[in-house]
Amino acid sequence: MLRILFLVIIILSFASCERIALILTPAKKLKASNTELAKTAENQFWTTLHSGNYSKIEEIEKLLMAAYLENPNDALLAAHLGFLHIWKITERQRLKNIPAEIVNETILAKKYFSDAVELTPKDARYLGFLGDSQLFEGNIFEDKREQVIAYFTLKKAIHEWPEFNYFTAGFAMSNLSAADKSFQEGLEWQWKTLDLCAGEKISRDNPDYSKYMRLEIKTGPKRVCWNSWIAPYNFEGFFMNMGDMLVKSGNPAVAIKIYQNAKLDKNYAYWPYKKILESKITNAKENVKNFQEKYLGPEKTIMLNSGYGCMACHENKGTRL
């Protein structure tokens, strides 16, 4: 008995030493980059993202990585590296042959979003993306604990910026089975996004958003309810994803009304994915079955798995008013 007690004391002592050592070790400190390399990497990142040039991801990754190694305390560089890896796996259907090692992109995304969160813990966007990458990794590797960690990361992100992260979290859950409780919760989070953006509870039977278009704003937390330079078609992309989730849940009638809201934006005519949305409106009933599958083509697959899961919001090839 004394021997066991002695071993327990030794183990606790080592554990205490580890905690003390970590407390005394300084954390990384935020330091923005202003070198020409960093500026070039950031400019190329945005140009590539907005042009939807998936084939250029690895080239931009090398630039960002070089800049980040030069200054591994830059949260923006870390976050953009994370986003490149999320983009790469989300739109993997663009590849002729999808390699098994594509799943490693989730691990790398988690690493860089973790860095970004450590450096700027008050930026709820990075926290939301970290939760997404944790969820993707947990689902891919059937790691229940990682899924639980992801859920609570996303809940914290939602608490800190609900207008942004109700969508971010729900989008990541759209890949789950329609019968999964987490999928249903993710769909409810899309409704909550609309409620917050509209300033009142939206009708679940007739969600006509036209009367709320006058609320468009470019500043403050609700700016993410609309389009912006970062996400030129965020509005359209949101309604496409939500419509897809409603179709997948077996509610094509309401999904069509949600899809139709995407057309309310003044720049809808220039959206690169409007023909796909219109096909989804026409084939909503047939897609209830199609959306249960992983990939049946861009018009018969939920937005997350479609090959344009990021570009539906971020691509801006066309002329805008």
Q: How many domains does the chain have?
A: 2
- Looking at the fold, whether 188 and 305 belong to one and the same domain comes out as yes
The residues, ordered by sequence, that sit 6+ positions from 198 with a Cβ below 8 Å of its Cβ are 209, 212, 215
pLDDT at 26: 76
pLDDT at 321: 46
Residues 199 and 215: beta-carbon distance below 8 Å: yes
CA–CA distance, 180 with 170 (Å, rounded to integer): 13
1 within some domain: no
Q: Record the pTM.
A: 0.92
CA–CA distance, 269 with 186 (Å, rounded to integer): 29
DSSP letter assigned to residue 27: P
170 within some domain: no
pLDDT at 20: 77
- Looking at the fold, whether 226 and 285 belong to one and the same domain comes out as yes
Query: Along the chain (321 residues), what's the average pLDDT of each consecutive run of 10 residues?
Result: 58 64 79 96 98 98 98 98 98 97 98 98 97 97 97 98 98 96 98 98 97 97 97 98 98 98 97 98 98 95 97 82 46
- Looking at the fold, whether 128 and 239 belong to one and the same domain comes out as no
- Looking at the fold, whether 250 and 145 belong to one and the same domain comes out as no
CA–CA distance, 311 with 308 (Å, rounded to integer): 5
Print the domain residue range for 273. Answer: 178-321
What is the sign of the dihedral through the CA atoms of 186, 133, 56 and 229?
Answer: positive
pLDDT at 13: 58
20 within some domain: no
Size (the chain), residues: 321
CATH number, domain containing residue 136: 1.25.40.10
3 within some domain: no
- Looking at the fold, whether 211 and 140 belong to one and the same domain comes out as no
- Looking at the fold, whether 124 and 195 belong to one and the same domain comes out as no
Burial level of 185, CB count in 10 A (0-12/13-18/19+)? middle
304 within some domain: yes
The residues, ordered by sequence, that sit 6+ positions from 102 with a Cβ below 8 Å of its Cβ are 88, 89, 92, 95
- Looking at the fold, whether 156 and 182 belong to one and the same domain comes out as no
